[in-house]
Amino acid sequence: MPAQPQLSEAVCKLGEDVRGKIQANFRGVLAKHGRPIMEEAEGKKSALPDRVYEYLIEQRGLVDVSLDLAELLWDSQKGKNTSAGLLLVASARLAGKRALLIVKLEQEGGLRAQDVQVNGLRTFDMSYFADLLMTEHNKIYKAALFCVDGVPEDGPIEGWAADKQLAGKMAQFWLHTFLGCRPKEDPKLLTHNFHQAAVDWVDTHVDDPEKSIDYLMAVLVELRSNATTLDPTAFAADHLDLYDQDNFLTYLDSKDVPTATFDKDITRVAPRLSELQIGFESGISIVTPVQRVREDIKIEEHSNGTSTVTVKGKITSTRSHYSPRKPDIGDAGSQPPQPDPAG
């Protein structure tokens, strides 16, 4: 790594092929891995939000701001074992509005084989390049995008950030130390809201008992999986019938649950993911471990809208049951159970 960053003193002119490559790469990265972020107002660690603000409201030019951002990145990585790379700071448009794209790229090495003639014979000349950027399989780069729409009159700026290397998660130095931001949305809350909305949708929008169990099982299995992210749109495409998918996603949106990928954290919902409850109009409920539903539960539907549920297994206990959804004795309006009359 050089002793000091090598800084650009003028705007780099991009050919159409290079511009197209950059646009395609970072549209895809931000769409797949991007997460909403906002300026970290308390305990501020970086001046980057101030520099972004100055550019977006046209107080300063692109090159002037890019020099400051390069110095901020350099300072944020001091003492770290970081390979050589490039900080790309580019003017951009988002929905026709002024925006700023910030990308940290790491250099890669690669070989190029070129067809040549030696003594009239065909062979290949092999050349090694140590300073390649944005190769087809490069997974090590980080990006951030800020738009003038994310600059409120009074409040923290907002934008999007992605760390392709960590597939949704972000390196602390990138998000906090350099960008001076934090996640706008809490993964615990997002996961809780998805679970609640998905379960409510199944309960209120799916009339077929067999299908409702299939859908609810899919929700629980998705949340219990080892995946660190959750994509509601992909979930709908993978697990719901075609004519249910739009309705499901519209319902999520109405409950302020994102339909794009978000980071999953089941801390708040973990106790609700191990069992499935089947309720009847009569008040009867069957509670079963998720992993036993398909093995031990059989549902037979009847033309009059009722269903027969058969539970296969050995009865090992019978006991009274308390439901937290029903009022306790002593609650307003409740009466204690009366003994059966004798004789």
User: Hey, CA dihedral for 24, 27, 33, 38, is it positive or negative?
Assistant: positive
Same domain assignment for residues 249 and 149: no
pLDDT on residue 329: 44
Q: Is residue 9 part of a domain?
A: no
Same domain assignment for residues 97 and 203: no
Could you give the count of Cα atoms lying within 13 Å of 251 in the half-sphere of its Cβ? 21
The first and second tokens of residue 92, run together, are 């951009």
Q: Of the residues 120, 148, 183, which one is the last residue of a structural domain?
A: 183
Same domain assignment for residues 164 and 195: no
The arithmetic mean of pLDDT across residues 92-107, rounded, is 86
- Please name every residue paired with 122 in a beta bridge, in sequence order, or none if there are none: 117
pLDDT on residue 201: 96
pLDDT on residue 84: 64
Q: Is residue 115 part of a domain?
A: no
Nearest alpha carbon to residue 76 among 147, 171, 183, 167: 171
Same domain assignment for residues 178 and 196: no
Q: Is residue 77 part of a domain?
A: yes
Find the angle CA(158)-CA(155)-CA(260) to the nearest 5 degrees.
Answer: 25
Same domain assignment for residues 53 and 171: yes
Same domain assignment for residues 236 and 296: yes
Q: Looking at per-residue confidence, does 58 or 85 come out higher?
A: 58
Q: Is 92 exposed, middle or buried (0-12, 13-18, 19+ CB in 10 A)?
A: middle
Between the CA of residue 154 and those of 145, 157, 179, 246, what are the distances in Å? 20, 9, 19, 37
Same domain assignment for residues 194 and 256: yes
Q: Of the residues 121, 152, 183, which one is the last residue of a structural domain?
A: 183
pLDDT-derived band of residue 342, with 50, 70 and 90 as boundaries?
Answer: low
Same domain assignment for residues 162 and 241: no
Q: Is the pLDDT of residue 337 over 60?
A: no
- Mean model confidence pLDDT for the chain: 81
Q: Is residue 299 part of a domain?
A: yes
Contacts of residue 335, Cβ cutoff 8 Å, sequence gap at least 6: none
Alpha-carbon dihedral 242, 244, 246, 249, rounded to 10 degrees? -120
Cα(44)–Cα(72) distance, integer angstroms: 14
Q: Is the pLDDT of residue 334 over 70?
A: no
Q: Is residue 119 part of a domain?
A: no
Same domain assignment for residues 165 and 193: no
- Locus of tokens 């980057």: 48
Q: How many domains does the chain have?
A: 2
Q: Which domain holds residue 101?
A: 16-106+133-183
Nearest alpha carbon to residue 28 among 145, 121, 153: 145
Give the distance from CA 273 to its chain's centroid.
20
Q: Which of 32-46, 173-187, 293-307 has the lowest mean pLDDT?
A: 293-307
Cα(168)–Cα(122) distance, integer angstroms: 47
Q: Is residue 192 part of a domain?
A: yes
pLDDT on residue 238: 95
Contact 233, 249 (CB under 8 A): yes
The arithmetic mean of pLDDT across residues 23-51, rounded, is 83
- Locus of tokens 């960053």: 5
pLDDT on residue 343: 47
What is the DSSP pairing of strand 275-279 with strand 181-183?
unpaired
Q: Looking at per-residue confidence, does 289 or 175 come out higher?
A: 175
Same domain assignment for residues 24 and 170: yes
pLDDT on residue 6: 80
Q: Is residue 327 part of a domain?
A: no
Same domain assignment for residues 179 and 33: yes
Q: Is residue 328 part of a domain?
A: no
Highest mean pLDDT among 36-50, 72-86, 191-205: 191-205
250-274 pLDDT tens trace: 999 999 998 988 889 999 998 888 7
Nearest alpha carbon to residue 248 among 232, 263, 260: 232
Same domain assignment for residues 283 and 300: yes
